Amino acid sequence: MTDKEFFKVTSLERVLDLIRTFPCVNEEVLPLDQCVGRILFQDTVSKIDLPEFNRATMDGYAVRAQSTFGASESLPALLKIVGEVEMGEVPTVSVQPGEAVRIATGGMLPDGADSVVMIEHAHALDEHTLEVFKSVAPLQHVIEVGEDFGREEQVLAKGSRIRPQEMGVLAALGQTHVTVYRQPTVATISSGDEIVPIAQNPSLSELRDVNAYTLAGLIRLSGGIPLYLGIARDNFDELHGLCKNALDQADMVLISGGSSVGSRDFTLEVIEALPDAEILVHGVSISPGKPTILAASKQKSIWGLPGQVTSAMIVFHVMVRPLLEKISGLSEDRLLAEREVSAVLSRNLASVQGREDYVRVKLVHRENQIYADPILGKSGLIHTMVKADGLVRIDINSEGLDKGTHVRVIAF
Amino acid sequence: MTDKEFFKVTSLERVLDLIRTFPCVNEEVLPLDQCVGRILFQDTVSKIDLPEFNRATMDGYAVRAQSTFGASESLPALLKIVGEVEMGEVPTVSVQPGEAVRIATGGMLPDGADSVVMIEHAHALDEHTLEVFKSVAPLQHVIEVGEDFGREEQVLAKGSRIRPQEMGVLAALGQTHVTVYRQPTVATISSGDEIVPIAQNPSLSELRDVNAYTLAGLIRLSGGIPLYLGIARDNFDELHGLCKNALDQADMVLISGGSSVGSRDFTLEVIEALPDAEILVHGVSISPGKPTILAASKQKSIWGLPGQVTSAMIVFHVMVRPLLEKISGLSEDRLLAEREVSAVLSRNLASVQGREDYVRVKLVHRENQIYADPILGKSGLIHTMVKADGLVRIDINSEGLDKGTHVRVIAF
């Protein structure tokens, strides 16, 4: 252990810049019903007008708006009912001035009609005679041809996440299959002589391999596919072998443990010995998470994460997840914004200048505001993460944050 | 079509009360690495102390705190280095007053030591002599036995969602398998003569079955397993057959289309004819979504959703998702809170008293605040959902909300 060996730390801003240099994974074609949460590989351009016909948006009567002008409860307009629109069929009737045609929500507007009188604002005196109590404007309760999306219009952008509504758009366009970015595979390796598989009863001084599970969960929730490669003891060849294996099979590699200063720090040595390896970051000016390593080998990222479980999780949220989402194809404007929520800090938070602090908070809903309650307790305790719903950042140039400050929270 | 037939509408509050009456699904046992996002079926009680030994949380030297009292940069304490703690091994040395033992993060504290001096605050003059520049307090940079979780302590509660940190706790306790609630299966049926499968080119006046996909995506994101049963034409026997099939295979049934007032309203009739059927709700005082039906058959919920895509999605977010999460076992305090974020309304919003309005908004991050920008456009257009990130509720007794109001947003 070399005493007083300080890291030449990198700013978080610089790390997030480096993240942009890693290439995205390639694409695959999936059935639409399996696409939720995935990222679009290309822009979607509509080949049709949506809707393809003028549709009623209310149950009622298709009319010419003009026929209703001036109508009121005391002086209803009297219209002649000349037919009905059958759902799924092209109307055979047309609407002349003074006429009305029964129509249900989603029905195709007959020729001559430009608006729909809601059923609540009309009363049929008999089969052929309608009283209308309220005037409608042209196009009222109607969606016009192409009003949702026009032909040749770009409807969805490459790099968007496919939510249920984007699935709906693709379904409306008849896209049964969609080209999306592949989900990146992320290999994880736990390192350290003290780490044992969780099924094993650790002897005193040994620890179960908790990072294998927390990281798998984080990778899964960030859209990646976790690939656990096992535990490397503090031995160059063992860790080197697993890393080479990882690079062959995965798009990104996470090594937990072994990244703190010390005699057991094989991680850096091992990474340096990988093909075309370049150490990009060794130490980041954040707390917790300072001893983080970021390296590249064959355009793939390799992270050395703290062995300590809660620190590794926070480094994941702050840096690894943005990189994972970037190579997943997610567009830059969504990269950091997607999981941030705003809250009001419920007490003062102190900090040390010269590093970014990430403080665990619980989000508490009170009336129309969400408050961020800082979680007390030693940062190494996993129960502080169980109690927490997110992280508040304290800026590198700040000495702390005052109670009542509006803060942005990385929610988890 | 019976004119002027108004719904006897139910309040949303009452609907949410009814949701509580449906029973949860049963349980299954899963390997821990497949549990992320699932709901715990039982409380987790620790059988061990966590950690099981006093651990260093920093790289440095294990000492008796007393030996460092009064130490400073100008007047360092001089300690004798008497050994080193090997990771994963029980220390063979002990620490007496005036002594120090090298230790790395996660290492087991030797007998006699009560604290750790950080490597940054010490300097080894030679192999045996250490200068310490800063005093430590007893227990500083140490996690004590049982400090994270004590033996017999309840560490996780039934009904909690298993996030990566909960996976970590379970891993630390050696739980290779976990009992979780089964994921509910949710059957979907699209109804209407005008609806065609999305692979088909709709003739003019027909519509592609968009709800099949939007609902599948919503079910998936809410923790359910979607089971699409196809399109029922407006025919009692066809819809009845699919509904019976759905009740046999699923924990919840969603029928989209056919729930508006009108001659084609078979949905209610069909549901009433199901075994032990009870119509609980026909019409809800929200907009959009008023014509929603909620019924029960054999303790399973059956929903009649609007056929209109965006209305069906909003009803899902506001009512179906809470019920789905309830029967998934999610605890009540998480039920509605989990997906709500707070934001500041960026413009005035008008509303009609006597109903709850749900307005689509885009969440825009500006500095440390998130603003909710209302999406303009007709509510029936799906592109308004693509532009939106959530829904703002306008209370039933309110005439609207002013610009600058803090609002809670159902994020999606």
ipTM summary value = 0.93
Q: Looking up tokens 């196809």, which residue turns up?
A: B230
DSSP 3-state assignment of B340? strand
- Are the C-beta atoms of residues A295 and A278 closer than 8 Å to each other? yes
Per-residue model confidence (pLDDT) at position B208: 95
DSSP string, A283-344: -BSEES-TT-EEEEETTEEEEEE-SSHHHHHHHIIIIIHHHHHHHTT--HHHHTTTTEEEEE
Name the residue with tokens 């302590």. B153
Render pLDDT for A278-309 as a digit per residue (tens, 0 to 9). Answer: 999 999 999 998 889 999 999 999 999 998 89
Choosing among B43, B46, B49, B105, which should be mutated to test the A contact, i.e. which has the most A CBs within 10 A?
B105
Residue A264 with chain B: CB contacts under 8 Å: 87, 104
Phi, psi angles (nearest 5°) of residue A400: 150, 180
Residue B7 is predicted with a pLDDT of 53
Distance CA B329, CA B247 (A): 20
Nearest to B298 by CA among B32, B22, B11, B20: B22
- Return the CATH number of the domain spanning residue range B340-411: 2.40.340.10
Of the CATH numbers 2.170.190.11, 2.60.40.10, 1.20.140.10, 3.50.50.60, which one belongs to the domain with range B55-143?
2.170.190.11
Tell me, what's the pLDDT at B277? Answer: 96
SS3 readout for A156-187:
ECCCCECCHHHHHHHHHCCCCEEEEECCCEEE
From the number of C-beta atoms within 10 Å of its C-beta (0-12, 13-18, 19+), residue A111 rates as middle
User: Which residue from A minimizes the CA distance to B130?
Assistant: A3
User: Chain A partners of B341 at a C-beta cutoff of 8 Å?
Assistant: 341-342, 370, 411
pLDDT of res. B258: 64
Closest of A277, A218, A226, A216 to residue A249, by C-alpha? A226
pLDDT tens, residue by residue, A147-180? 999 999 999 999 999 999 999 999 999 999 999 9
Q: What is the CATH number of domain B28-50+150-181?
A: 3.90.105.10
Question: How confident is the model at residue A349, as a pLDDT?
Answer: 92
List the beta strands (DSSP E) in A177-305. 177-181, 185-191, 195-196, 207-208, 225-232, 252-256, 278-282, 286-287, 293-297, 300-305
Distance CA A131, CA A129 (A): 7
The CA distances from residue B63 to B66, B135, B150, B184, in Å, are 8, 11, 25, 55
Burial class (CB in 10 A: 0-12, 13-18, 19+), A92: exposed
Residue of B nearest to A171 (CA): B210
- Is B1 within 8 Å of A149 when comparing Cβ atoms? no
Q: What is the mean pLDDT of residues B358-375?
A: 91
Residue B178: per-residue pLDDT: 98
Q: How far apart are CA B127 and CA B376, in angstroms?
A: 73
CA distance A343 to A408: 6
CB contact under 8 A, B167 and A32: no
* Architecture field, domain B12-26+183-333: 3-Layer(aba) Sandwich (3.40)
Q: Enumerate the residues of chain B whose CB falls inside 8 A of the CB of residue A52.
A: 202, 204
Grouping H, G, I as helix, E, B as strand and the rest as coil, residue A77 is strand
CATH code for the domain defined by A29-49+160-181: 3.90.105.10
Report yes or no: A180 and A40 within 8 Å, Cβ to Cβ.
Answer: yes
Domain A12-26+182-335 class?
alpha beta
Given this model, what pLDDT does residue A1 score? 37
Q: Are B13 and B20 in contact (CB under 8 A)?
A: no
pTM: 0.93
User: Alpha-carbon distance B308 to B317, whole Å?
Assistant: 15
* Least confidently predicted of A93-102, A352-361, A401-410, B294-303: A352-361
Q: Per 3-state DSSP, what percentage of chain A is helix, strand, and coil (rounded to 5)?
A: 20, 35, 45
pLDDT tens per residue, range A68-101: 999 999 999 999 999 999 888 899 999 999 999 9
Per domain, the residue ranges of chain A are: 12-26+182-335, 29-49+160-181, 55-143, 340-411
